[in-house]
Amino acid sequence: MSWNLISLETIFYLAGAVAIIASLKVVTGKNTIHALLYLVVSLLAVAVCFYLMGAPFAAGLEVIVYAGAILVLFVFAVMMFGLAKDETRHAPQATGLSIWVGPVTLALVLLAILIFAIDDASIQQKLTANIVGARQVGALLYGPYLLAVEIASFLLLAGLVAGYHYAKPDGQGGHL
Amino acid sequence: MTAIPLSHALVLACILFVIGFVGVIVRKNTLFMLMSLEVMLNAVGVAFIGAGSAWQQADGQIMFILILTLAAAEVAVGLALLIRMQRRFRSLDIDKLSQLRG
């Protein structure tokens, strides 16, 4: 197959297929941590889709906030649950490559897509032609959407207070 | 006009949303339900970014940022409630919540 046949659409569909497969593995997973790893791969695939759709700022936010912050919150919470009744203990121990070969394969496909998209001149030309950059987003965010930003900050503050209050141990006045 | 048609981005968003929705409906482990909710919110983000890129407007990305803050707040509260539930019922089974009295 000639390299010229691989167009922007093709690698978009490839990244979308990776996202769908990883999401299916999240939904059907048995082990919590493995499902979280697949969720990270799914979010990274969606970030690649954003990049290919001409939204590099949203792609960066997806990686930093979703895959970086929210998923780490999930991992911390799973650690706090205590693994006494978790399925992890009943999972087969030390099965070698079989546990992580799935997420690694999907992530390598994503890496190949990204490297190809950066390397290929015609795809870069197509991408830069219709980009909606961070400058436009920022100008709109702090112009007409200023009230929405304030409401979002209220929402985050409410989430912070509620999370702190609900997760307090019983002895410290955390009764619901 | 962008290289990727809007309809294809919307199809991808619909498939991801349905996968997350089925996860929320089918799974009984509350943690997996939260993860499926993340997949659903992410699918909505794909739809907004696709629409924003089709019309070459930044509004789609702004809606995505708002969805991002919504997801962060939802996950913080949801996980705190799950920690609470694990302490009280020693389980993450959603059916245990039917024992609650209002």
> pLDDT (tens digit, 9 = 90+) per residue, A108-120?
998 988 888 888 8
How many structural domains is chain A composed of? 2
Same domain, A38 and A67: yes
Same domain, A128 and A105: yes
Same domain, A60 and A20: yes
Does a structural domain hold residue B102? no
Chain A contact set for B79 (CB, 8 A): 73-74, 77, 163, 167
Chain A contact set for B26 (CB, 8 A): 27
**What does the pLDDT average to over B72-77?**
92
Same domain, A53 and A90: yes
B19 to A15, A129, A162: CA distances (angstroms): 16, 33, 29
The per-residue pLDDT for range A131-160, each reduced to its tens digit, is: 888 888 899 989 899 999 999 999 999 999
CA distance B32 to A175: 26
Domain range enclosing B78: 28-95
A149 neighbors B65 (Cβ within 8 angstroms): no
ipTM of the complex: 0.91
A52 neighbors A8 (Cβ within 8 angstroms): yes
* pTM of the complete model beyond 0.90: no
**Of the candidates B60, B66, B71, which has its C-beta nearest A70's C-beta?**
B71
Asked if the C-beta of B47 comes within 8 angstroms of chain A's C-beta atoms, the answer is: no
Same domain, A166 and A79: no
Domain range enclosing A67: 3-133
**Of the candidates A8, A65, A141, which has its C-beta nearest B4's C-beta?**
A8
What does the DSSP assignment read for A48-96?
A: HHHHHTT-HHHHHHIIIIIIIIIHHHHHHHHHHH-SSSSGGGGSPS--G
How many structural domains is chain B composed of? 1
CA distance A54 to A35: 29
Hey, are the CB atoms on B62 and A145 less than 8 Å from each other?
Answer: yes
CA of A70: which chain B residue's CA is closest?
B72
Which of A41, A49, A76 best probes binding to B when mutated, by most B CB atoms within 10 angstroms? A49
Same domain, A147 and A115: no
Mean pLDDT, chain A, rounded, equals: 83
- CATH number, domain containing residue B44: 1.10.287.3510
Measured in angstroms, the CA of B95 and the nearest CA of chain A are apart by 16
The per-residue pLDDT for range A124-136, each reduced to its tens digit, is: 877 777 788 888 8
Determine the pLDDT at residue B72: 92
Assess whether pLDDT exceeds 70 at residue B2.
no
Same domain, A125 and A175: no
**What does the pLDDT average to over B43-58?**
92
